[in-house]
Structure formats: C-alpha cells, structure tokens
Amino acid sequence: MLFNSFTFLLFLPLVFVLYWFVFKPLRWQNVLILVASYFFYGWWSWKFMILLAVSTFADYLYGFWVASPNRKKAQFFLWLSVINNLGILGVFKYYNFFALEFKEAFALIGFHTNPVLLKVAIPIGISFYTFHGMSYVFDIYRGKQKPVRNFVDYAVFVSFFPLLVAGPIERANHLLPQIQKKRFFNYAQAVAGCRLMLWGMFKKIVIADSLATIVDSIFNNYQHQSGLTLIIGAIAFSFQIYGDFSGYSDIAMGTAKLFGFELLSNFRFPYFSRDVAEFWRRWHISLSSWFRDYLYIPLGGSKEGKLKAVRNTFIIFLVSGFWHGASWNYIAWGFLHACGFLPLLLLQRNRRHASDVVAQYRKYPTGKELWQMASTFTFVTFAWVFFRAKDMFTAAGYLKGAITNYKHPKEALAYCNVFYYIIPLLLIDWWLRRDERNLSVPKRGKRIVYMVLALLVIFYFGKKTNFIYFQF
C-alpha cells in the first residue's frame, strides 16, 4: 500500500478510529497495529507477508538464545542469526547478481556455465526489516536490550507499518519501550503528526513526482542531450530522491505520531552540509548510524590506527552501496563517497560539523559556507549519477556527455522548469533547518500556508508512484 494512494487515505482513518476508540487496552492496540501492519504490507503480495513472519519469528527466538549467560552459546546463535538474515537478503536480493557475475568470471577462463536464476520479485522493504531484526539480536548480545517475552510486541517493532517498507531503521531500545508502554492520545502530538504528513506529501507528490518525469526524460535519452541538459538532469535527480525519500520519512514520522509513537529522525537538511561527513550525518541517518554502530565500531572504528580507519571507512561505504542494490553502479556510488570522506578522516576534520547547523545564529550563510555547501552538493550530485543510472556504462556515458557535449546549450531551457520545484523547497528547508520536526509557521499566515500546501497536494494527487527506496 502506498502512502500516496486513495487506499491509504481510507486505511489510515479507519485504523486510527479503531486504535483510539475501540481497542483501548494496550495489548489490543498492539494486536491491531500488528494486523494493520501485515494488511498494509500484504497489499502488495501475501507471499511477502510469509517471509516477513518467518524472519520475525526467527529473530524473536534468536533473542532468547543469544541472551544465554554461556558466551560461546550466545556467540554461536548470534552468528546463526546473522547468517539467517544475510541469507534471506542474499537469496532474494543478491543471488541473481552473484550468479551472473560468477558466470562471466568462469567464462573468462574458458568454463561456460548456465546458472539457474530466481524469477521472483524482491520483497519490498526486505533490507529494512532484516536490519531491524539484526540490531535487536546484536543489542541483546551486547547487553543493551533484554529479550522481549511478548511476541506481539516484538512483531510490532519489526513490522510497524509507517516504517516497514522504507524506514527509518529503528532501534529496539528506542521503539520497544514505546510499544510496551500505555499510550494516551496527545492532541498536540497528533497535530504535529498531521503537519509532518502534509509536508511529506508535498515533498513526494508535488516536488519529487514532478521532477521524476523530467529526470526520466533526460536520463532515458542522455545520448541525445546537451551537456547543460545533463547537468540539469543530475541536479533534478538530487532533489527528486531527496523529496521522495525524506518525504516518505516525514509521512512515516507523522503517521507514527498519530498513534503515540516517536520515530528516529532520518533527514536533517542534507543539502546544507558543508562536507561529505556532515552530509552522512544528515542523509538517511538511521542507516548510516546503523552501519556505524554495528559494523564500523566493531571493526575498530578509527581508534586502531590510520590504516584500519581507512579500511573500515571503505568497508562501510562499499557495504552501504551494495545494501542499496545488487549492481556495480551502487558499489561505485559507495566507493565515491568513501573517497570523499577519506581526506576528512585523515585530516581529522570529519567531526568539525558534528553538532552545529549552518548559519545557526544567523539568517544567511557566509561566503565560505556557501562555497562549502555548493562544493559538497556538486560532489554528491556527481555521485548520484551512478545511483540513478541503470549500470556503469550508462553512468559513464552520462557523465562524459555532461562534461564534453557543448552543442545546443539552448535545449536546456526546456528543462529549466525544474527550478520551479527546487527553489521553493530550498527556501522552506532553509527556514526550517534548525529543527526538521518543527513545521510551525507564524500565526498570521499559518492557515494560508497549510491551505496552500494541502491544495497543491490535492491538485497533484492521483498518479500513484512508488517511493524510490521501496526497491531497497
């Protein structure tokens, strides 16, 4: 089920009314959320529900075994859980990729094989809910979380419908206590949730989907476009994926607020970042922090010498790229970001913007800050080409055309309407940059602003398009 669909507009109020006015006891509220979540997920395919249930039950059991005081036994089941979760990902998401790569590798040395390929769709959100389960088991092993006795509570943690298919990737010690605690309707929280949902819908339906048409037109015919047009296409995709994914996260956080839950932040205005390190503290925060806590730090982080720090940096960025998809262009995207992050790490500047916001106490950025934001955005946009392209050949051809094709620059004028969507988004983000959840506006113009946003969403509503991160 899509957030931007009429079905969801019927589904959400129904669940909301049942949740607060019919299923009042906590245990029945959790049962309702679980049933609603599986219905929401099963709207695509009931087969996906089976895989989700199996994955959930397996990690529920692993949680008890990993909690054993016998560390050898706990470690054994920890690795079994990791193998189980990565095995699910490997079969459904990466099997065909490796099968074809091995086929080509063997062909180079004279052996010809004909591997059996899986003809199944990748289950939506599989990378997200498997990471939920893995973090739960990891935290139990580390003593940060106790096993959950109530299976329904744990199943809600894994499958809570606002975050099920595209995050944020929650942590057990953050979401589970909210699931296990009695919740009371909070009017202010619900209003804040509605505002977040409206803003998320605006970013997805009005901004991202409008840019998507232009981006597809440029990328699908890049061989015949001028260099300036290709540059505009890359910029447009940067804002398309931002509006699409951050819009989803806003809708997810807003929906969760309606039911009394607070989810982890996933975006904090990443295009106002002054370097690549700050960008990754502001883009897909729940994923980057997951890799930091469960991969980078266990590998030694940056505390065991420069050489290991460099190794660990490349590992997490390459794994992050591969997490997004079984294709070399995603790995190249991760590699580029590792290269951009590396100088900051070696010069010990990767933490210099860890806590502040650009122009935190000023209305406007300085010239230096503008240059830093512009250069970071240019690098990120360059890397996005590999993310958007269907393969490495396409990415290379696109970039070559953007750099070398100076013919017919006036053709780019036909695509300048992308800035009608980009500039307003940037201006609003700049206004909100100090707090991504505070969407309050001056009282004098509050009703007008919200009415304009709502009317725009209604006007553009109707074309049901998947969120980009559903494929991951």
Residue scoring higher pLDDT (96 or 442):
96
Overall average pLDDT of the 105-120 stretch: 73
Residue type, 360: Q
The total of other beta-carbon atoms located within 10 Å of residue 298's CB is 11
- Would you list the domain boundaries of the chain? 6-184, 188-274+353-471
3-state helix, strand, coil in the chain (%, to 5): 70, 0, 30
The total of other beta-carbon atoms located within 10 Å of residue 462's CB is 10
pLDDT at 334 > cutoff 80: yes
Is the C-alpha dihedral spanning 2, 454, 246, 171 positive or negative?
negative
Give the chain's mean pLDDT: 89
Q: Which of 37, 34, 220, 50 is nearest to 120 (CA)?
A: 50
Overall average pLDDT of the 428-438 stretch: 80
Residue type, 299: L
- Percentage of the chain modeled with pLDDT above 70: 95
Task: State how far the Cα of 282 lies from the Cα of 301, in Å rounded to an integer.
Answer: 20
User: What's the pLDDT score for residue 445?
Assistant: 67
- Percentage of the chain modeled with pLDDT above 90: 61
Task: State how far the Cα of 310 lies from the Cα of 383, in Å rounded to an integer.
Answer: 20
Q: Which of 136, 128, 123 is nearest to 57 (CA)?
A: 136
Locate tokens 């099920």: which residue? 164
> 158: buried, middle or exposed (CB in 10 Å: 19+, 13-18, 0-12)?
buried
User: What's the pLDDT score for residue 399?
Assistant: 94
Question: For the packed helices 227-258 and 418-432, what is the interaxial angle rounded to 10 degrees?
Answer: 50
Overall average pLDDT of the 198-221 stretch: 93
172, 179 contact by CB (below 8 A): no
Task: State how far the Cα of 275 lies from the Cα of 144, in Å rounded to an integer.
Answer: 32
Q: Which residues neighbour 308 within 8 Å (Cβ) at sequence distance 6 or greater?
A: 299, 300, 302
> 43: buried, middle or exposed (CB in 10 Å: 19+, 13-18, 0-12)?
middle
The string of pLDDT tens digits covering residues 71-85 is: 999 999 999 999 999
Overall average pLDDT of the 122-127 stretch: 82
pTM to 2 decimal places: 0.91
The string of pLDDT tens digits covering residues 371-418 is: 999 999 999 999 999 999 999 999 999 999 999 888 877 788 888 889
Task: State how far the Cα of 33 lies from the Cα of 14, in Å rounded to an integer.
Answer: 12
190, 67 contact by CB (below 8 A): no
User: What's the pLDDT score for residue 300?
Assistant: 87
Kindly list the catalytic residues: 324
DSSP one-letter string for 343-359: HHHHTT-TTTTSS--TT
The total of other beta-carbon atoms located within 10 Å of residue 78's CB is 20
